[in-house]
Each structure stands twice: as structure tokens, then as C-alpha cells.
Structure 1
């Protein structure tokens, strides 16, 4: 194999191994509600593994991977691209706001509040999930994460939804993942008592008028709530003590932080968005922090692209790439002041800081 092929194969293998451990650990969670929430919050990352690995493996040899149905291929793509947030070339900020309104918010409201006068008056259409009393997801954000059209997801058609995830399982299974391998992921470190098991339902129209930028920007607030859940999930749930050595867990945390910061910078720079002075202050603080600038510079984009797409980004000094080293030796190339472990510590520390900043900006709900 060439060095490029070796890097691609090692990245794919590590993610597939991690899926094996994740599935094993999720199956061991005794609280069914917690297991379901964690699984759904992980869906876009699993979709990322499927989408990107299948592209690389199909290019190398179309015969070696399981084919996905056309429907599930579209679902996987939507789920994977949900992680781009505002950094989506096809949608951008206004496109994401429109998509979230038309494809997520409106169908949920119609389903849970549009049936009759009483549900319109009293019905709630937004469920909130918390860990350590902090929001890690909502029914809106999880719906966006899955990539499944709201009409299907809200139909409660169990067999159809089960069939979608069986295709995920078949894909991973043909590449060697198993369910009988003892897990060793962050899930083993979770505290079941920290998961909020009680049902917490609110009316989205009221909730989104109270958080982040306030009543003038409910659709933007809905997307920012999605960002908040991603960050808190990455910080509270996926965090561990393994630093850069746990490649796939670090990948989840880094890509989440990178995409949220990139999106916040886009929002701060977008002249079409009229924000309150309070929101502008939070955005400036989050984007201009020294750690944010480190992660938003040009080399960070190349590092992000290798983690996302598996291949090396050229030009690069290939003599310094080493698949036996944490993160393949890429950190000193793109971030010369850091080792892999010091960079992982910086990412984890700033993940905590940005998550806290988003919680404060959202306000005490």
C-alpha cells in the first residue's frame, strides 16, 4: 500500500473497531431510555463513518462493501451532513434556518399540536434530554441528526425505522464489526443517575423565544439549541482520559468543536443576521478566544479534512506522517506548538469552555 492508502485504511479500521465497542457498550446500558437517547445522539457520527468509509472503500474496490438502498444512502448523507451546521455549502445559514423550520419544526408542531383545538391550546411539541442537568439533545435536534424525513420518523412506523438501522448494522457487519466484543468506550464511564429520565416536554414556540437571541429570532435559536446539545453531549458524554490515543472518540470531540466554532464565526460575520448586543458579545467572546483562533486557522481545516475524509490533504510533508503515532503524527505538522496529547488536552479544555459559554448564552431554562 502507498502511505495515503495506509492512512485511509488505518482511519477506517479504527472507526469500525470503535463502532464495535460502542454497540457493545450501548447494549449493556440497563436504562432503555438512556440507551436510546445516547444512540440517537451518536447517529450523525455513525453516519459519518458509513458515508466517508463507503466512499473510500467503493473507490478502492466496489465489491468489498455492502450496498445500501437508495433510500438509506440519502438518509446517511443527510445525517452525516447535519454535522456541517452552517458550514454547508449547499445551504449556508439561511438555508439551514429554512430547512430546520420547514422539515423539522413545522412537522413536529403539526403532529403534536395540530390535531384539534385542545392540543393546539395545551399540546407540547419539543422533548428535552439532559445529562447532569444540562441539555444534550432535543426531539428536534435528534430528528435532524437521524437524517430520516419527519413524515417517516413521526409516523411511529417501527418496522420502517428498524429497517433503516438494520442496513447500518449490515454495512458495519460486512466490514467486521461484532456485537459480542466487550466494549471499552466512554459509555462505560457514564453515570445512569446523571441522565434525566423524567419526561420533559415544552412548547417549542415558547421555548425558542426565551433562549439565546430572544423572541426576535426563534428559528435561529432553534439551531443554536442544536449546537448547544452537540457541545454538551461531546463534553459531558464522550469525554474521557485517553487523550489522543482514543482516535475515534477524539474525532467526535474535535469535529464537533470545530464545526460549532466555524458556524459561530460564520454567524458573527453574516451581515444578514440582526442580533442583540448580548448575542454579539457572546459570539465575539467565543470566536475570538485564543483556542478558537488556533482551531479556526487554515491548517486546522486540513487536519479536520483528514479526520473527516480519511485521506491526507496535500501538500503535506509525508516523511512526518506515521500511522503508529497518535493521530498519525499529524498534530505537530498542523499545530507545531503541540504534541498529540497536549493538543487533545487543549481541545477538551476548550470544548468545556465553549459548551459552558453556549449554556450561559442560552440562559437559565
Structure 2
């Protein structure tokens, strides 16, 4: 198969896995009168990487005298047998004289036999279901390459296996592989690589890679290598749309604007959160309603002030009428008789009242 590594829009988060990130493989030798025991920390599971049964080499179970006799080096591969009992469990025990184990021997009888078992502890892994695309969310998940090969529904004509990963819209996929059995090889026959929807391809060899795509295809080319595939969705969900506003998003940048004005603001996605100013938009109809309410309020205030002014004036005239001499109070007692009391004027002293011409024919009335 011709393979060309193309440029992929990626961000390398970690250049190399540190030594502490590598899996620690533990090897246990169990003699025929002992019990094999393996245990992993909480939330981790066993994976048997290799298991043998026989008189393999000089060890605590086999004296070096057998090496001189040239009787060592015979064993049976019981990896699948032990794996079927221990894989994906937190702890496992197998007797050194287990019937199934002992029946697997193909060496000369009478020689000391023992089990040589190697295992690693892995985080909990997800499983392939119905050969569908693996859903990627914000929680980091793990998938074992062995499970992908065992499903037999992802093979292509070149006997490579493929699995698709899909995240929600506008999210990016962060993925890496760690070799449990075997090691990365520069040759394409031993490569693990991912391809995005645009056909761009990049090989994976223990580095974390962010792919600016919500969908990708992972390809495995060597079923004898066992790799742990870690994947996670990162990025921001679409920002919530405020009332009376629109949202436009381009990658990690979002623009929010108001329908009824030219006001808009921008936000950027950092990690999984939107950073930037937050504002609101108002409805144009609400603005009109507010203006109408303010106008009615002003009008009502003007009416109240006018009515109050008129009532105050009338009260003032009534008060002046009641406090004037009797004859003047008589004429002024009726505030509506404007022809009489508005034209009446006091002249000279307060006892002289000049009446209008049409009242008592212009005579002067002397108040006593």
C-alpha cells in the first residue's frame, strides 16, 4: 500500500510521553505448587501480554542442572487461556496445577513445569458496538486495538482494520496511542494513523494530537501490536443565543449581534469555555412600548399639574372672598361671576368699593 503522510492541521500538545506514562509490564513466575496472583489499582484492569507454561529456563522453579542436560526451552503459549480468565478484571488468581494449564504442556514428562506470565494494568476501556462509529465526548476514553481486530467488521482489502470516531459539531478530537505490546515502526506495515474527512493523514506514535475535525478514521495495520487508544473531545459548545440576538461562529471565534441594532460583540473559545464580553439585546417593540409609557406618564403629569393649578386658583379666590367685607364677599362669593368680582377694585381705603358701571348705575357705595 502506498502511503504518504500529508500535512494535517493539528496541534501537538505533548511532544513525547514521559517515562512515567509508559505501561509497567509485570512478569510473575508461578511454580506448580503455587498460585498465580495479579491485582491492579482501583479503576484499572488487567491485560495479559504474554503467558507461557513449561520448563522454559533456569529460574527459581527450575534448577540449573536441567540447563546442563539441555532440557530447557520447551513451553506452550497459554496467553489466550490466561487472558480469557484475567483480562478486564481488577484481580485474578490461577492455580499452578490448573487442569487446563497442565493439559497444554508439550514437553517431556517428569521435568519441572512453571507458568511465566506477564501483565499490565490499563484504565477501563470502552468496547466497539455493532461496528458503529465511536462516540467521542469530553470524558477521556480508551479503546484497545485488540478489541477492534476481534470484531472482524472493519477490514479493508489490504487486511487493515479501521474504526471511525465522531464528536459533536464544532468540537475537536484529541487522540493518542500507547504501545502495550510491540513498538512503533517507521514502516507503513506497522503504522497507526488517522485520516480526517478531507483525506489528510497523520501517523500516531505516542504523541497527543488535536485534530481540527469532529470526525476521523483510525487505521491499524499490524494486529500483533497491542496499542491503547486514548481519545477525548475538546472545545466549546455553541454559545447560548441571547434574546433578540443572532450568533455566527467560525471555529473558536463567535460573533453575537442584536437584531434591532448594529451592536455586536465577539467571544473566543479557550479550552472549553467562551471568553469575552457578555451583553444583552432589547426588543424594538419593547423600546416603542417603553417610549409610549414614558410619553403617557409625562402627559398624565401635565394634566395633574394643570388641574391642581386650576383648583388652587379657585381656592385662592374663594378664600379672598370670605375674608373681604360683607358686601364685597357677597359679590365675590360666586367665583363664576367673573363680570362682577374680577372687575371690582378697591380704591383709596379698604372701605370704598368702586362697582362696575352697570351695577347700581355707577354709584359709590360707602361701607359701614
TM-score (norm 2): 0.24
Structure with larger RCO (C-alpha < 8 A, sep 6+): 1
Instruction: Specify which structure has the higher proportion of strand.
Output: 2
Bigger radius of gyration among the two: 2
Instruction: Specify which structure has the higher proportion of helix.
Output: 1
TM-score (norm 1): 0.24
